Amino acid sequence: MRTIKSQSTDLLLVLMILWSGASQATTVCVDDFCGNQGTNSGHRIVKIGEQFSVTAFVRNLFDEADTADELLAFGFNVFSSINIELIGREINPIFQDDSEIVGLTAAGSSFPGIAYEPEFQPFELATLHFKALSEGAGFIAIVADLTDLNQGLIFLNRDPMAFTIEQGITAVPLPPAVFLFLNGLMIIGWLRLLFFKNKK
């Protein structure tokens, strides 16, 4: 039986798993702030062209009544506004990456399952990488829909758990100073190229 290993994190989101089972404590969150009881993670500001990451964690996976249970698999899809592009994903290596097999944005399985290990929670499911394409308000939504048997948190003894995670994203232009700096580099590069051509 495998146990959860300690995971590093780079995230700035907070979210709640929505489900109809008996446990009230299980949440999907990011960083150390897992106290938000809603599905909206708040707002994030990024610059146009910036790449940023969002990592989904599970906290309080097993309550006292569920300590003999195991997490077998997880899966979810990601949706985003037109100005935010998903450019990659990394599944926690404790799981086998099943994303392509089941046709989801992120999916993983662990056999034998992941057992209760309170000192190593929260633990990471997957890290998603995005890029801001253009200016304006946007969003990211991470959705596990139980109408697909491969989605949600899938347990040995309990019913699967669905979740929805949302984050507002605003992409803003680069500061004018950055544009001046980049334009300066372009001009210097053009002048150097012209100089070497004339030298020949």
The pair of three-digit structure tokens given for residue 65, joined into one six-digit string: 């009544």
The pair of three-digit structure tokens given for residue 53, joined into one six-digit string: 């990451």
Region of 197 (left: φ > 0; alpha: ψ -120 to 50; beta: rest) is alpha
Residues in Cβ contact with 168 at an 8 Å cutoff, skipping those fewer than 6 apart: 40, 42, 43, 44, 137, 138, 139
What φ, ψ does residue 13 adopt, rounded to 5°? -115, 160
How far, CA to CA in Å, does 5 sit from each of 34, 79, 124, 147?
19, 29, 9, 30
For residues 46 and 197, the model is more confident at: 46
For residues 179 and 62, the model is more confident at: 62
Average pLDDT, the chain: 77
Centre a 10 Å sphere on the Cβ of residue 39 and count the other Cβ atoms it contains.
Answer: 19
Rounded average pLDDT over 50-70: 83
For residues 183 and 112, the model is more confident at: 112
How far, CA to CA in Å, does 183 sit from each of 73, 134, 190, 191?
49, 19, 11, 12
Residues in Cβ contact with 112 at an 8 Å cutoff, skipping those fewer than 6 apart: 1, 2, 70
Centre a 10 Å sphere on the Cβ of residue 196 and count the other Cβ atoms it contains.
Answer: 9
How much is the pLDDT for 62?
Answer: 78
Whether 57 contacts 27, CB under 8 Å: no
Q: Exposed (0-12), middle (13-18) or buried (19+): which is 90, by Cβ within 10 Å?
A: middle
How much is the pLDDT for 198?
Answer: 59
- The pLDDT tens digits for 158-176 are 899 998 888 888 988 876 5
| Chain CA centroid to CA 188, Å | 39
How much is the pLDDT for 184?
Answer: 62
CATH class of the 2-174 domain in this structure: mainly beta
Whether 144 contacts 163, CB under 8 Å: yes
How much is the pLDDT for 134?
Answer: 92
Which is nearest to 53 in space by CA: 28, 87, 5?
87
Work out the pLDDT band at 185, boundaries 50, 70, 90. Answer: low
Work out the pLDDT band at 44, boundaries 50, 70, 90. Answer: confident
For residues 181 and 51, the model is more confident at: 51
